[in-house]
Amino acid sequence: MELTFNNVCTADCRGSCRIRTKVRRGRIVSIQGDPGDEYTLGSLCPKGYAHLQRVYAPDRITHPMKQLGKGTGNWVRISWEQALREIAGHLLDIRTKYNSFLPVCLNKYLGSMGVLSRSIDGFFNSIGYITLMTGSPCVATGVDALTLSFGAAKKPPPEDMLNARLILIWGGNPTWTTPHQMRFVFEAREQGATVVVIDPVLTATAARSDLYLQIKPGTDWLLARGIAKILAEENLVDQEFLNGSTENWTQCQASLEQLSLAAVASATDVPVEEIKKLAYLIGTTKPMTIWLGAGVQHTSMGGGGFRTIADLAAMTGNIGLPGGNIHYATFDPWEFAGAFASIKPPEGSKGIPGSQGQWGHRQVGTGRFGELAALEPPIEFLWVACHNPVARAPNANAVKKTLQSIRTVVVADLFLTATARYADYFLPVASNYEYEDIVVSYWHYGAAVNQKAIEPLGESKPDFEIMRRLALELNRLSPGSSTFPVEREAAQWLDLEMKLLYPKLGITHYQELIEQYRRIALPQVPWQDRVFLTPSGKYEFFVPPCSSFNPGTEDHGEYPFRLLPMRSFATLNSQYRNCNSLEELSGKSKVLVHPRTALLKGIEEGTKVKVYNQLGEIILPAGLSPSVPPDVVSVYLGCDARNDMELNELISLIDTDLGRLCSGAKGLAFNSTQVNLARV
């Protein structure tokens, strides 16, 4: 007999795609997009179609393991009982030694967007005050920037793009990273909209645009100011919006007067004529919508970049109207009740004193493993879940070094990731097909229930079960050590967390979402009332500090090339590289080099090239391509399981200019690294 289940992709992605899963005799036999999904219309991306391969991947690990010597590869299979007993024992030893849990650290990210993954934070809240890696490797900078300008990060729903006459895609490659949204881009274009792409690399999205500006990396804020200068001087502004709904415009305008377009052109590598062309387009085409990708915010001036780009929308009055505004991300649909977040530690627990004298967790920005290693009291225990920092945090070698120095490292994952290789304990996590969960999209606000389609493979368990069992074990060894409400079932947690969202979804229980497509009701047009959530109540222009006025002239000495990592359509961050079927589609990893640079360096197509800097080196075959500028190299991370090269060994830990306000730590400038090249 064949059964069909409704699933949802739990990946950190804009799609949060609904899936129809067919199961025969307890085994998944097919995975398809759900035709009832109003965002995807039933199509999946290549990674989605590869889920079947991923769930049953031969390298998936489905039993707990212990490594005898970190990084040795000397793993032995152990039982859950042993794993949890030993891990709980380590936790209790730490408490005895330090009289606190501050030496215990959690580094978690969005490997699963499922609501139940919040149980991981819930468990650590239940034992005491720990060291928490906060912030976000992804959105910290962008969310802060939009919060400073608008008072909050809000966006229109996906289909509002159809109302735009001009679509500016700035530092994003949605053709590969957000494929479902492209139908709105193309449809708008068929109705006469102009599509502009601004990117240092001629991407698959740039190739489909009407106007492409190949910008020098990291200079976006200058280009935006150049455009702003023309708009102001040619009076291509919406005076009514400027007068009634904005703050700081006079200072901003004054600072533009001092700007020379020739200097902007030379810093950005965009000729004055092209800057003017884009400025006229922006000044004369309404409504204009701006798609802010992750590219700009991952540069050292990323926050200022986002703000100056958003200023173009404000100057032209493209805010608060259909077809206008900014498409980035909003966490407004994540109004979860906070059942896991509000779990309180046992009475008498001590942590770091807050401003009102209350205890709290010690916080370190995510990715900052060097800082982690220097803490007092030191970190003796690290739990990594839903995250692969050796592959995705900056300076991977520093991450590895810190992992080596921590007494007990636990990694909960489906695969033996680059990070897990430095763990003492590996705990096998069930895939989303193996337990019930809920995903709410931060892009299209669809809320979907992920049904349990099959039993967890082997001995694997959902994070929620792992945390619950660890709480039980702790309390068995030392009663009262964890306040985690272990008697509460997963379904009750889901119901609790979703309660506030029920009215916005028009339902009374989350299970109604299994058969129905529902979206959180958010305004169709953000900021329509022109009431902004800033201190002034108005849109606040960015006035750049004088000190940040002169970029583009830096001399990078030994490392003249900007390294820009490129996401493949067939991988998701560090995931899916092990799916062989995708390897055929996407090809293998390579470094893209401009033919002129290649000539200088004696590099030909396929030549093995060393890409290096002060942090390390990686060796990859070269792909010659005029799509990258001569002073940029782009590493394309394709699918090749046998290549265990980690690009982030070269990525410098560089703070962006923003991030602290909303996430507690500055953003990470993954796109500001310089390298050199040599033929091997």
Ligand X SMILES: Nc1nc2c(c(=O)[nH]1)N[C@H]1C(S)=C(S)[C@@H](COP(=O)(O)OP(=O)(O)OC[C@H]3O[C@@H](n4cnc5c(=O)[nH]c(N)nc54)[C@H](O)[C@@H]3O)O[C@H]1N2
Site residues (CB under 6 A) for ligand X?
Answer: 12-13, 109-112, 117, 137-138, 170-174, 176-177, 198-201, 203, 215, 217-218, 220, 293-296, 298-299, 385-388, 391-392, 412-415, 417, 429, 463, 564-565, 567, 569, 571-575, 647-648, 651, 670-671
In the complex with Mo ion, the residue whose CB is nearer, 143 or 409, is 143
In the complex with Mo ion, the residue whose CB is nearer, 138 or 313, is 138
Q: How far is the CB of 2 from ligand X (least distance, A)?
A: 26
The entry of ligand X, Mo ion, none that residue 567 binds, CB within 5 to 8 Å by partner kind = ligand X
The residue of the chain with the least Cβ separation from ligand X equals 295
In the complex with ligand X, the residue whose CB is nearer, 673 or 676, is 673
Helices (H), 513-630: 580-586, 595-601
Q: Which stretch binds Mo ion (CB under 5 A): 136-144, 184-192, 307-315, 638-646?
A: 136-144
Q: How far is the CB of 173 from ligand X (least distance, A)?
A: 4
CB 160 within 8 A of CB 524: yes
Q: Which residues contact 557 (CB under 8 A, 6 or more apart)?
A: none
The residue of the chain with the least Cβ separation from Mo ion equals 138
Identify the helix (H) or strand (E) that includes residue 138.
none
The entry of Mo ion, ligand X, none that residue 460 binds, CB within 5 to 8 Å by partner kind = none
Please report where in the chains the tokens 């305008």 appear, as a residue.
253
Secondary structure of 600-638 as H, E, C letters: HHCCCCCCEEEEEECCEEEEEEEEECCCCCCCEEEEECC
In the complex with ligand X, the residue whose CB is nearer, 525 or 582, is 582
Residue 223 per-residue DSSP state: H
Q: How far is the CB of 356 from ligand X (least distance, A)?
A: 32
Q: Which stretch binds Mo ion (CB under 5 A): 27-35, 130-138, 455-463, 595-603?
A: 130-138
Phi, psi values for residue 540, rounded to 5°: -105, 120
Alpha carbon dihedral 648, 653, 654, 656, in 10-degree steps, equals 80
Nearest Cα residue to 417 out of 376, 456, 452, 389? 389
Nearest Cα residue to 85 out of 486, 429, 472? 472
In the complex with ligand X, the residue whose CB is nearer, 242 or 665, is 665
Helices (H), 31-104: 46-49, 51-55, 80-98
Q: Which residues pair with 132 in a beta bridge?
A: 106, 363
484: left (phi over 0), alpha (psi -120 to 50) or beta: beta
Q: How far is the CB of 507 from Mo ion (least distance, A)?
A: 29
Q: How far is the CB of 665 from ligand X (least distance, A)?
A: 14
In the complex with ligand X, the residue whose CB is nearer, 320 or 629, is 629
| Core vs surface per residue 187-215: b (16+ CB within 10 A) or e | ebbeeebbbbbbbbbbbbbbebbebbbbb
Q: How far is the CB of 498 from Mo ion (least distance, A)?
A: 24
The entry of Mo ion, ligand X, none that residue 308 binds, CB within 5 to 8 Å by partner kind = none
The entry of Mo ion, ligand X, none that residue 177 binds, CB within 5 to 8 Å by partner kind = ligand X
In the complex with Mo ion, the residue whose CB is nearer, 294 or 466, is 294
Q: Which stretch binds Mo ion (CB under 5 A): 134-142, 187-195, 270-278, 558-566?
A: 134-142
Q: How far is the CB of 487 from Mo ion (least distance, A)?
A: 36
Q: How far is the CB of 429 from ligand X (least distance, A)?
A: 4
Chain CA centroid to CA 112, Å = 12
In the complex with ligand X, the residue whose CB is nearer, 110 or 321, is 110
Question: DSSP states of 461-515 as a string?
Answer: B-HHHHHHHHHHHHHHHSTTS----TTS-HHHHHHHHHGGGHHHHT-SSGGGGTT
Q: How far is the CB of 127 from ligand X (least distance, A)?
A: 18
In the complex with ligand X, the residue whose CB is nearer, 321 or 639, is 639
Residue 393 touches Mo ion, criterion: CB under 5 A: no
Q: Which stretch binds Mo ion (CB under 5 A): 67-75, 80-88, 133-141, 176-184?
A: 133-141
In the complex with ligand X, the residue whose CB is nearer, 205 or 245, is 205
Task: Please give the Cα distance from 505 to 507 (Å, whole number).
Answer: 6
Nearest Cα residue to 212 out of 136, 278, 148? 278
Please report where in the chains the tokens 């990594």 appear, as a residue.
384
Q: How far is the CB of 145 from Mo ion (least distance, A)?
A: 16
Q: How far is the CB of 296 from ligand X (least distance, A)?
A: 5
In the complex with ligand X, the residue whose CB is nearer, 146 or 505, is 146
Pairing mode of beta strands 194-198, 211-213: parallel
Nearest Cα residue to 38 out of 158, 195, 189? 158
In the complex with ligand X, the residue whose CB is nearer, 452 or 567, is 567
| Core vs surface per residue 274-289: b (16+ CB within 10 A) or e | bbebbbebbbebbbbb
Would you call 391 helix, strand, or coil by DSSP? helix
The entry of ligand X, Mo ion, none that residue 572 binds, CB within 5 to 8 Å by partner kind = ligand X
Task: Please give the Cα distance from 49 to 445 (Å, whole number).
Answer: 22
The entry of Mo ion, ligand X, none that residue 199 binds, CB within 5 to 8 Å by partner kind = ligand X
Among 127, 138, 566, 609, binds Mo ion (CB under 5 A): 138
Residues that bind Mo ion (CB under 5 A): 138
